[in-house]
Structure 1
């Protein structure tokens, strides 16, 4: 950004729609609530399989559904553990991100002690 105070805004705006979790469901029984608060409609998403662990499994579910087949057993047996694993990964990523911000802040403020 051209203005340094915009950097803080950019950092914070990336968290605007965060806070979503992962829910496992089977057999067409949708979880309650099934409506996404931000879009006011049914919502799900799946991204690149190497971006997040959960997307690897979601991709396999989509491939099976598209082919009219049952999902592979290795996918189905792993699903119940994924929400907890994803929450732990998010927690760790947040810890690393905060440490990076702390490091940059400390470097920028070095020599300004006592001001």
Structure 2
């Protein structure tokens, strides 16, 4: 019985430390703002300049957003990406960026006018 409790305690400690680990993947790039340089061009690169240059670390601009539905009573509810909003519904956008900047949001109607 004691052995089972010790094993369960060690497993719980392992799970707790892995949950506190740094984020990986896209979230890590968003939080750090850094990643490998990438680009595209239509001209063929010259071999001498390609081999001589080391890859640069570039600062990425990341934007994270979430749409929220504002109900008639004023409460806010998170919605899934499959949600289709109807005319007259109110929305709230929660936006987070990893670098300072300006954000412009336009509401384009069905006729193409803002």
TM-score scaled by structure 1? 0.23
Q: Which has the higher contact order (CA 8 A, sep 6+)?
A: 2
Higher-Rg structure is 2
More helix per residue? 1
More strand per residue? 2
